[in-house]
């Protein structure tokens, strides 16, 4: 975790407490060192910035890693719905692949 980058991000957050990108960047900084803290920021994004599509994949992956597969499944599904609604088919595809893999539906051609 880069302390100076985190300090800068918190400064940005102070200037604009509702900036989705800053919240996302803070969650990403905390991701490896403090997954629970990262999850708090992801959950804030999911509830307050529903159309910020980038959150869904990372939040769902983290839920998976924490053994919360039901919540991960719901997060993937909602992310697919939102990304389709937003016309972001790249995000939709990534979410669908991760969801299929988690659900054991990953049928790649060998």
**Which bin fits 67, alpha (ψ -120 to 50), beta or left (φ > 0)?**
left
Per the structure, the complete domain to which residue 79 belongs is given by: 3-103
Average pLDDT in the chain: 94
pLDDT score at 110: 47
Q: How many CB atoms neighbour CB 94 within 10 A? A: 19
pLDDT for the residue 105: 86
In a domain? residue 28: yes
Query: What is the sign of the dihedral through the CA atoms of 97, 98, 104 and 110?
Result: positive
Number of domains in the chain: 1
Could you tell me the pTM of the whole model?
0.90
CATH of the domain at 41: 1.25.40.10
Establish if 17 belongs to a structural domain. yes
What is the pLDDT, as a whole number, of residue 53?
96
pLDDT at 108: 58
Q: Is residue 67 part of a domain?
A: yes
């Amino acid at each position: 975790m880069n302390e100076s980058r985190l300090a800068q991000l918190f400064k940005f957050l102070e200037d604009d407490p509702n900036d989705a990108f800053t919240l996302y960047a803070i969650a990403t900084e905390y991701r490896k060192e403090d997954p629970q803290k990262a999850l708090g920021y992801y959950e804030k994004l999911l509830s307050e910035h529903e159309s910020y599509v980038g959150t869904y994949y990372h939040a769902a992956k983290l839920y998976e890693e924490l053994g919360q597969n039901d919540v991960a499944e719901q997060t993937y599904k909602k992310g697919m719905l939102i990304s389709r609604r937003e016309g972001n088919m790249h995000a939709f595809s990534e979410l669908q692949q991760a969801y299929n893999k988690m659900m054991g539906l990953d049928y790649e051609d060998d």
